[in-house]
Amino acid sequence: MRKLFIPMMLIVIGLIGCSSGVKNETPLPNSIEGMQLKKVYTGSQALEMVKQLHQKPVTSQDTYVGEYEDKDYNAKMYVTEYQSPDSAVATLEQMAGAMMNPHGGGASAMGFQHVRKLDKYGAHVYMALQGSRAHYFYVQGNKLYWLDIDPHVAMSAMETLVGTKAPADSTMMH
């Protein structure tokens, strides 16, 4: 029995060391297009991250931030839970409207380009480009999601996340 103890412990330690994810008890997916969830932020830490992005407080709702990566790509997802689906949709539409408004600061003031609604993924899905990143923001149930991701894997990630396959001829740059 003693002879088996050390090899078994080495196997257990090896399996624990190979685990690439983190403990996740949030609405964040454990992986996105092969990228594993590496870090989770919740509570005041997640709210502070969202506040810094917007340069002002924007929500007091439960918020989660996840950082994902693999050897080629990385992504960040923000999720905010609202009291109801209607309040999540209202917030999404307000945010999208502000980003599309060329006279109110809009997307260009925030560094976003090509902000548009993506009906092919559902009624409440938008996207924008910023630098070398794609940003998708959408609602599922009472949750508002914002995904910051490399454009090379963005469309396949969205097909997985929202459960809808985009038409074969659609591209991000329509």
pLDDT tens string 52-92: 877 777 777 799 999 999 999 999 999 999 999 999 999 99
Residue 122 gets the label, from left (phi > 0), alpha (psi -120 to 50) or beta, of left
Cβ atoms of residues 172 and 151 within 8 Å = yes
Look up the pTM and report it. Answer: 0.79
Instruction: Record the tokens describing residue 141, joined without a space.
Output: 């149930």
Question: Which residue ranges form the domains of the chain, and what is each CATH number?
Answer: 28-160 (3.40.1000)
- Which of 82, 157, 162 is CA-nearest to residue 120? 162
Match 């839970």 to its residue by tokens. Answer: 81
Strands 31-32 and 143-149: unpaired
